[in-house]
Amino acid sequence: MTDTNALISAMNDEASEAATTDTAPFAAAGLRVLARAHWPDSPDDVAPPIAGFIITSFVPMVAEVAERCLNRRPEPPPGARTAILLASTGGDRDTAQAIAEAVREGRRVPPLLFFQSNPNAVLGHVAGRRGLTGPVVCISPLKETDAGVPAEALSAAGLLLWDGDADEVLVIAAEQGRAPGEAGRADAALVALAP
Amino acid sequence: MNGTKVDGTEVSGTVVTGTAARQAVVVTGISVLSGCGRGTKALATAVSSGTPAFTPVTRFDTTRRATAHAAELPGSPALGEALIAAVYEACHEAALLPREAAQARLLLALHSDLRIGAVVAEVARGVAEHCALPGIERVYTCACVAASTAVADAAALISAGMHERVVVAAGYLVEPDTFGVFDAGRALARDGRARPFSRDRSGLLLGDAVVAVVLESARAAGRRGAVPLARLAGWGRAGDGYHVCRPIPDGSGLVRAIEAALGRAGVGPGAVGYVNANATGSPLADAAEARALRTVFGAGGGPAVSSTKSVHGHALEASALLEFAVTVLAVRDRVLPVNSGYLGPDEDCRLDLVLDRPRYADPGYALTVNCAFGGANTALLVGVA
């Protein structure tokens, strides 16, 4: 039995807004964790570029953390529908900046930027590679967190599972570095409703 | 999910089949600002007559673009201000008292760009100050299904008894960055008309839209004597699992989204009399959507179909909420809108399109579907209140 009060609590409890990397926020949201991954794992960790995407450092780290997490998943039940939910307050600032600068300066906008001009694109890349057929959702959390998956993303994933269009949710939280040269960070968790 | 306690009620069975214990969801307020003008009447008049709102863009220079047209309102409205006004108007139409608005949650759909943080902060302040709402609950950025995803979440929250009332708002105003990048991607119609499902279609045209909708449980609406505009009977979402931006050719992701929506409502495809399609005028995507609709509804005798993007343009993150409003109005007024810009049949898009003039008919249930990059699909099923 799943206690939906846990989902309500995760949405409303200010204390739960502090994102952490331990399992307590997942349990508070009524979720069990099937797999976890982080990027970078070390200071020299690399997210390989993704064919068809240019300029952006956002897309490679989202794709890489998703791959790592899915590679650690247990064998899914037959027919399981896996949703992908991306939470990013800043989004892909590299792409947005490149579009804005090209337009402002009257330069030709690189056509490939069209395909990466919204955060769904990288999720389509992951879903296509891994055959994930659950819902595709992107949210912009109201508060940027320094680490882990924000509670807001967990409550969104919990609602999606509870409502029944997905059996599992791959939750990804990703933020690019704010300062020039500052590395971004991404966290992923594959979750299901707690038994 | 089995045996869940929701609002004091035991919900048994899967969500799709276990709808009996859920709260019915109704629409009690809508505010629309679109390229067709201000208000639902201007929108209903334009889509029922099939009068396109496309004009040469005046907001910025388009001389280096393949098209100069969009469904643009006069001047340069400010997105944050327009969203606050839309939420205010929708709450006003729903006749919410301040104490009732104070209990509502606000879900917002916006384009993910360099301005989003400032717009969200402005809207959060504005709705608290002018509408008595407690701020913003969540912001959705999933492209052309952002607003319909928000509506589905709102419905889930209400039907589960987690919240009695949720306001969904979405906004996109045509601006040079998206216009420029859609032009670079050759997505814009070169002939200045959006021609969904038509032969010789060449792409989409962008359009302004700022929309807000008040959703609440039928019980809460009834308790305060509100008269619902329509009922949100079902919702569903599914992914293609196929490609970065191309839809899966057989439309199977959209099929599953529609089936989920019908399943939640407990109705079969034959109960649907109208579909507000996603079709943008894209050669590939329109054909995939037509295949999905034929799969669900059969090859002949399916519901009336139109894509009103042919009139109000594509409002990106706000498009699904604008089309939800169109669908609610179609059910309420029993007027099925026109698929404008049609030049003739395309064998890959064989559907019962509403052409030339509106159909005056009670559709029973009406479905509005949306698809986005990443293979995201949503379906919202609207019924008479």
Contact B240 A124 (CB under 8 A): yes
| Partner-chain residue, chosen from A1, A123, A161, that has the shortest CB–CB distance to B374 | A123
What pLDDT does residue A7 have?
Answer: 47
Average pLDDT of chain B, as a whole number: 94
Assess contact for B277 and B270: CB atoms under 8 A: no
Assess contact for B158 and B23: CB atoms under 8 A: yes
For B294-333, letters b (16+ CB in 10 Å) and e give bbbbeeeebbbbbbbbbbbbbbbbbbbbbbbbbbbbbbbe
Contact B184 A52 (CB under 8 A): no
SS3 for A85-106 is: EEECCCCCHHHHHHHHHHHHCC
pLDDT at B356 over 90: yes
Half-sphere exposure of A180 (CA within 13 A, CB side): 0
Q: Across the strands, what pairs with B171?
A: B210
For A133-162, letters b (16+ CB in 10 Å) and e give bbbbbbbbbbebbeebbbbbbbbbbbbbbb
Using an 8 Å CB-CB cutoff, list chain B residues near A1: 2-5
| Partner-chain residue, chosen from B1, B124, B239, that has the shortest CB–CB distance to A2 | B1
Using an 8 Å CB-CB cutoff, list chain A residues near B110: 140
The rounded Cα A69 to chain-centroid distance in angstroms is 11
Q: What is the mean predicted confidence (pLDDT) over B175-185?
A: 98
Q: How far apart, in whole angstroms, are the C-alpha atoms of residue A88 and residue A149?
A: 10
Contact A138 B143 (CB under 8 A): yes
B198: left (phi over 0), alpha (psi -120 to 50) or beta: beta
Q: How far apart, in whole angstroms, are the C-alpha atoms of residue B155 and residue B323?
A: 17
What is the greatest pairwise CA distance in chain A? 58
| Partner-chain residue, chosen from B1, B3, B138, that has the shortest CB–CB distance to A156 | B138
Q: How far apart, in whole angstroms, are the C-alpha atoms of residue B3 and residue B12?
A: 5
What pLDDT does residue A21 have?
Answer: 52
| Partner-chain residue, chosen from A100, A106, A135, that has the shortest CB–CB distance to B376 | A135
Encoded tokens for B80: 């944050």
Name every residue whose Cβ is closer than 8 Å to that of residue B193 and which is 6 or more positions away in sequence.
B52, B54, B69, B205, B310, B341
Using CA coordinates, name the residue in chain A closest to B22: A163
Contact A91 B137 (CB under 8 A): no
pLDDT at B312 over 60: yes
B3 burial level (CB within 10 Å; 0-12, 13-18, 19+): exposed
Tens digits of residue pLDDT in A98-152: 999 999 999 999 999 999 999 999 999 999 999 999 999 999 999 888 788 999 9
pLDDT at A20 over 70: no
pLDDT bucket at B21, cuts 50 / 70 / 90: low
The H or E element spanning position B26 is strand B25-34
Contact B183 A109 (CB under 8 A): yes
Tens digits of residue pLDDT in B24-37: 999 999 999 999 99
Using CA coordinates, name the residue in chain B closest to A95: B113
Question: How far A73 CA lies from chain B's nearest CA (Å)?
Answer: 18
The percent of residues above 90 in pLDDT, for chain A, comes to 77
Q: Across the strands, what pairs with B33?
A: B38, B210
What pLDDT does residue A78 have?
Answer: 85
Assess contact for B167 and B90: CB atoms under 8 A: yes
Encoded tokens for B201: 């279609």
Tens digits of residue pLDDT in B51-75: 999 999 999 999 999 999 999 999 9
Question: How far B45 CA lies from chain A's nearest CA (Å)?
Answer: 32
What pLDDT does residue B18 have?
Answer: 38
| Partner-chain residue, chosen from B137, B180, B372, that has the shortest CB–CB distance to A102 | B180
Tens digits of residue pLDDT in B228-252: 999 999 999 999 999 999 999 999 9
Give backbone dihedrals phi and psi of B66, rounded to 5 degrees, phi first: -70, -25
Tens digits of residue pLDDT in B109-156: 999 999 999 999 999 999 999 999 999 999 999 999 999 999 999 999
Q: Where is pLDDT greater, at B332 or A147?
A: B332
Using an 8 Å CB-CB cutoff, list chain B residues near A5: 5
Using CA coordinates, name the residue in chain B closest to A97: B114
Name every residue whose Cβ is closer than 8 Å to that of residue A12 and which is 6 or more positions away in sequence.
none
Using an 8 Å CB-CB cutoff, list chain A residues near B378: 135
pLDDT at B19 over 80: no
CB-CB neighbours of A41 under 10 Å: 11
Contact B160 A162 (CB under 8 A): yes
